Structure 1
Amino acid sequence: MGPRVFDIELSGLVLPSEDPELRRDRLGKDGDHDENYDHQYDFNTLVYDCFFDPTSREVLLLAPPLLNFQALLETAEFLIDGETRAPLRIENLSRCSVIAFAAGPEIPRSLSITHAQFGGMMNIGQSHLETFAGTNAIYSISRNNRLEWIQDWLHYYINEHGATSVILTDNGSTDYSPSELRDAIGDMAGLEQAAILRARYPFGPRAESKVNYASLFLQRSMAELCRRRFLGQARAVLNVDIDELFHSKSGQSVFDATVANQDGYVRADAVWVYATQSDNDGFFRHRDHRFVSMTGKPKANRKWCVVPQGPQKGRQWLTHFIGGRSDPVDPDFVMWHCRQISTSWKVDRSVSQEIPLRAELSVEKALDKAFVNAPLLASQAKHAPAIKVGADGDRSKKLIITSMKNEGPFILEWTAFHRAIGFNQFLVFTNDCSDGTDAILDRLEQLGVVKHERNRVLRRGPQKSALKHARSHPLVLSADWIFVSDVDEFLNIKVGDGRVDDLLDAVPDADVIPITWRLFSNDGLVDFDEGLVIEMSHDAERDLDQGGHIRRFAKSLFKPSEFVERFGTHGPIYSEAQLADIKWLSPTGRRISDPKVMTRPEVDFGYDVAQVNHYATRSVDAYLVKKDRGRVNHFRQVMGFDYWQKMNLGGQSDQSILRSVGQTREEMQTLLQDKELAALHSHSVHWYKNRIRDLRQMPEYEELRNNILEVAD
């Protein structure tokens, strides 16, 4: 029987990446950094995690080094459950910071930050000190380490040293699903407790010399988080990575030796061990590492084990020693650092052919003993996951993919509408939210409504990054139909009962159905209104025979296929060789073969069957917040007066979507029966109104507002 596995999404805050004034200073000076430093450096994470410490009755924020961000915090306002709080203290530690607040008599639930340049809300996590109290714990940070390696590592420490708990910080693995990692750990008999911490933040640049200024903030900070939130009451804690095996020459447990040590602290010398061949489907396992360097070089770094409540209580846990200690090593222990147990996610670990190796009998005997009863687990081929190819009639899993930032007031309407018309799976990516959007989606995920993923924004921008990450997501791999949509887009189906199945019945042979946008104006709305957008806005762009524009963009409903090379904003991207075999049909059933009009039809819009109602402007004040947020696709383009004129098109009444209002309201009321979700929605509306007020104090935004109103008059 394996352990219960706590799967914990850290509750942090990332500042908007597009604002140059909200960037963390680099360590060192300009010119001191190598060419990869900026690409790997964490410029924007303000807080990694927020949790309640019941021992001190404090709310603690665990953060990267604040550096210039400390000045931002000094001018920010903090609220805990709506009550103003000032920081009690700020601890600036080695490569991390801790900000402490006094908690009230009740268990705190949320902390919000308001500043002239940013804002956000964090759910306050609970302490797990009691959960892991008295256990022999191991902890590590990992990204895309094979599940076989993780299970081998756990097997070794459970059976050789008596480990009874594990904390694994997962730094954004993509080679397997969250549930697969949970199951791999949950299958390990002998463990009593386990937790996976989802830390979707930059790991940081690793420096091979002082000139480059190593900035591995996450590694130091996660160790400190483990000490304060999870492992501070454990019997003993061993700090080892997935590729590191502690070996005792006398056969004693490293945990027992540490408890018996008068300092409550054991360090071990480390040696690189190497594998030369493998019988495990072409990849190396721990048990294959039976060789050492004949020269003793390169050197490997030491690791340690500590009693958290012993003489070292309160000292920071660093990577290779406890803060303030440089103790001698224990001669009974050696740590074998397995060179080929690596995906090179931190540093290139390819083995030089120039290193002379020799077999090491002591290593071979120990590994044979340790793994004699360990199952040779099946290899996982997760690097190029295959999309499900089901029967032609499969419709049970209809998935929407979207990306969001600061869309809190509009999430429930959009979700409720699309649930009402038949979508039953939602994959939502978010980045840099400050209005509670991420908290709303976290709660919707807890309620089983959506799957929420933090978006690791690449150079291609938020939306294209999300679509890249989505390509290998488990929901995508099992979906029958997929629709990529923004939160201001509503799939308005006009045939049958207005459901997705009615559209699929209308075009039964399609692999891809491009549904044309129909832009809607703000319909005279100036102030932000909490009502349903689909009920308030009826002023649509004109039909062609009424003087409307030709060539309008479409959003595509499509079947997943192994031939889809990537997901585009407006439709799937196929190779030219496969495109001829794809049935790309308009909503009216017409075959589309010209790639130029596949996602941007010129005249055959198919509005009689379906359209995508696109409320790009909503209201004048809502547009101010949209400009503040920035575009998700063409993210480098400024949203100003020109964009308003381009997207705020009207002139023809279209009320066809009103038949879905009743079902949308029913779905929303069902969701809002959850008091926590209702409170989060209310908070986002309050934030939105305050943000409009703040933006109108800025000359640039007030001028834009006035220009829009002048044209409207």
Structure 2
Amino acid sequence: MKRILKKLYNFFVTCFYNLVFPFVLQLVNSNVFRTKKYTISLCAIFKDEAPFLKEWIEFHKIVGVEHFYLYNNDSSDDFREVIQPYIELGIVTIIEWPYPQAQMKAYKHFYENFRDETSWVSFLDIDEFFCPKYADTLEEWLESYKKYPVVLIYWMMFGTSGKLQHDYDSLVIEQYNISWDYLYHVGKCLINTNYDIVSFDNAAVHHSPWVKVTLGPINFKIPPVNQFGYFVPKDLFWGPTKELEKSTIQINHYWSKAWNIYDNKRKKSDVFFKENPKKKLDYFYFHERENRTSNRMIYRFLMKLKLSLNEID
């Protein structure tokens, strides 16, 4: 009974937000938009990701990301050699961040120091790739969502594709092409930096930050809108999120890559969790069993990525 009542409560709260808040935003929006140096930027905290940084940066440049704020969490590899050219070109800002489990604090640092440089930001990880299905760039895709403070885009989960060893001569987005056959119930957000984030004190800011809005004497807290246009204050999976044919974008989450990479990560500390959940093999096998379908949607950007990387090399 308690579970049923909770579901009913969540349903009515969600309906309320979806009925009321479009009108609130209509009244507020005219006062919050300001032109900034960059349109879309990414903020990421990383540790020992040198083999993957160049592909991740070059790919997101192709889909319209203009700047990258990278927080180095005490890496011991040659990441500096990889990103130095981007630093010199003014594409990457590097911040040394050698603190344990300090991911949320890194995002707070970004918001306090760099939010005025970019109109939109996403707190993305190096194993996550924005994949618009029809639009050529994120800015083009965002055109229909610019009135919202925060837009939630769901993960499409990718596993090992049966690989024991990662091929470092091949691209991540090319060699891992077996995914779940549905969108995961969480993802990452594109955040309009003209709005204040409610709190950086919990994990919600990583996946579904709320923002503050003031209308006269009234203060509102606004939840994200998901990629299907529904406010999601309680259930992040609210709306027709399982209808893939209605999805116009996904975040490809290369969660494990090959077994050797996953196995190495499960032996290390995590930038977010004190107790790394990857240590549990059941956790791995659950995700792996869900990989049921071939998914090459991101291949529409593959040739351009290869040519871009060839020019650099």
TM-score by length of 1: 0.35
Q: Structure 1 residue 659 and structure 2 residue 300: aligned?
A: yes
Q: What does residue 623 of structure 1 align with? A: 262
The 1-side partners of 2:147 and 2:124 are apart by 22
1:414 paired with 2:56, answer: yes
In structure 1, the residue matched to 2:13 is none
Residues 562/492 of structure 1: CA separation in 2 closer, same or farther (3 Å cut): closer
Q: Which amino acid aligns with 1:555?
A: K
Q: Which amino acid aligns with 1:586?
A: N
Matches within 5 A, 1:371-390: none
Q: 1:553 aligns with which of 158, 172, 186?
A: 186
Given the alignment, which residue of 86, 89, 93 partners 1:444? Answer: 86
* 2:302 paired with 1:671: no
Deviates more, 1:396-405 or 1:571-580: 571-580
1:624-643 counterparts in 2 under 5 A?
624-640=263-279, 641-643=281-283
Q: Check the 8 A contact 1:407/1:437 in 2, yes or no.
A: yes
The residue matched to 1:440 in structure 2 has which SS?
Answer: helix
Contact map agreement 2:42 2:69 (CA 8 A) in 1: yes
Work out the CA distance in 1 between the residues paired with 2:37 and 2:135.
17
Whole-angstrom distance in 1 between the partners of 2:273 and 2:239: 22
Query: Do structure 1's residue 484 and structure 2's residue 117 form an aligned pair?
Result: no
Q: CA deviation at 1:419?
A: 0.5
User: What does 1:147-166 correspond to in 2, within 5 Å?
Assistant: none
Shift of 1:437: 2.0
1:574: Cα distance to partner?
2.8
Question: For residues 63-115 of structure 1, what are the alpha-carbon distances to aligned partners after superposition, in whole Å with 9 as ceiling and x for unaligned?
Answer: xxxxxxxxxxxxxxxxxxxxxxxxxxxxxxxxxxxxxxxxxxxxxxxxxxxxx
- 1:176-191 to structure 2, matched below 5 A, reads none
Q: What residue in structure 2 maps to residue 471 of structure 1?
A: 111
Relative to structure 1, the CA distance from residue 448 to residue 572 in structure 2 (aligned partners, 3 Å threshold; closer, same or farther) is same
Shift of 1:521: 1.5
Residue in structure 2 matched with residue 529 of structure 1 by the alignment: 167
Find the aligned partners of 1:512 and 1:500 in 2 and give their Cα distance.
Answer: 14
Decide whether the 8 Å contact of 1:563 with 1:578 is kept in 2: no
Change (3 A) 1:671 1:453: farther
Residue 196 of structure 2 aligns to which amino acid in structure 1? Answer: F
How far 1:670 moved relative to its partner? 3.4
Contact 1:554 1:601 in 2 (8 A): no
- Secondary structure of the residue aligned to 1:569 is helix
Q: Which residue of 2 aligns with 1:539?
A: 178
Of residues 519, 522, 525, the one that matches 2:157 is: 519
Which residue in the other structure is 1:500 paired with? 138
Partner of 1:617, secondary structure, is: coil
Q: Which residues in structure 2 correspond to 1:361-380 (within 5 Å)? A: none
**Displacement of 1:602:** 6.9
Distance 1:395 1:540, change over 3 A: farther
**Deviation digits for residues 329-387 of structure 1 (CA, Å, limit 9, x no counterpart):** xxxxxxxxxxxxxxxxxxxxxxxxxxxxxxxxxxxxxxxxxxxxxxxxxxxxxxxxxxx
Distance 1:511 1:490, change over 3 A: same
Aligned partners of 2:32 and 2:195 also within 8 Å:
no
- Which residue identity does 1:485 align to in structure 2? L
TM-superposed deviation, 1:426: 0.2
CA contact (8 A) 2:34 2:194 kept: no
| Alignment partner, residue 87 of structure 1 | none
Residue 438 (structure 1) shift = 3.9
CA separation in 1, counterparts of 2:285 and 2:71? Answer: 28
- Secondary structure of 1:618's counterpart equals coil
- Match for residue 572 of structure 1 among 199, 205, 209: 209
Contact 2:152 2:225 in 1 (8 A): yes
How far apart are the structure 2 equivalents of 1:508 and 1:466?
Answer: 25
Aligned to 1:105: none
| Counterpart selection for 1:397 from 39, 43, 54 | 39
What does the per-residue CA deviation read over 1:498-527, in whole Å, with 9 as the maximum and x for residues that have no partner? x11221123343222100011012111111
Tell me, which stretches of 5 or more residues in structure 1 are unaligned? 1-388, 545-550, 673-713
- The aligned counterpart of 2:148 is 510
Aligned pairs for 1:8-27 (under 5 A) are none
Per residue, is there more helix in 1 or in 2?
2
Instruction: Determine which structure has more spread, i.e. the larger CA radius of gyration.
Output: 1
| 1:30-53, Cα deviation, whole Å (9 max, x unpaired) | xxxxxxxxxxxxxxxxxxxxxxxx
Q: For the Cα contact (< 8 Å) 2:195–2:211, is it kept in 1?
A: no
Gaps of 5+ in 2: 1-30, 214-218
Number of corresponding residues: 269
Q: Offset of 1:463 from its aligned partner?
A: 1.7
Aligned to 2:233: 595
Give CA-to-partner distance per residue, 1:574-616, whole Å, 9 cap, x none: 3594224x6x43323x231x41234x55752575211111001
Q: Equivalent residues in 2 for 1:64-463 (5 A)?
A: 391=33, 396-457=38-99, 461-463=101-103
Instruction: Give the aligned CA root-mean-square deviation in angstroms.
Output: 2.6
**1:424–1:526 distance in 2 versus 1, CA, 3 Å:** same
Q: How far did residue 396 of structure 1 move?
A: 4.2
Shift of 1:638: 4.3
Q: Deviations over 1:276-311 (max 9, x none)?
A: xxxxxxxxxxxxxxxxxxxxxxxxxxxxxxxxxxxx
Secondary structure of 1:526 counterpart:
coil
Question: What is the letter of the counterpart of residue 643 of structure 1?
Answer: Y
The alpha-carbon deviation at position 479 of structure 1 amounts to 1.0
Paired-residue identity, % = 22
State the Cα deviation string for residues 444-498 of structure 1 (Å, max 9, x = none).
312322111101425xx13223212212123x2221011111000000111222x
Determine if contact 1:515/1:556 at 8 Å carries over to the other structure: yes
- Separation in structure 1 between the aligned mates of residue 132 and residue 294 of structure 2, nearest angstrom: 17
Q: Which has the higher contact order (CA 8 A, sep 6+)?
A: 2
Q: Which SS does the other structure have where 1:471 is aligned?
A: helix
Q: CA–CA distance in 1 between the matches of 2:147 and 2:243? A: 16
Q: Contact 2:71 / 2:94 at 8 angstroms: preserved in 1? A: yes
Q: Name the amino acid aligned to 2:162.
A: G
Contact 2:119–2:194 (CA<8 Å) still a contact in 1?
no
* Shift in Å, 1:650: 0.5
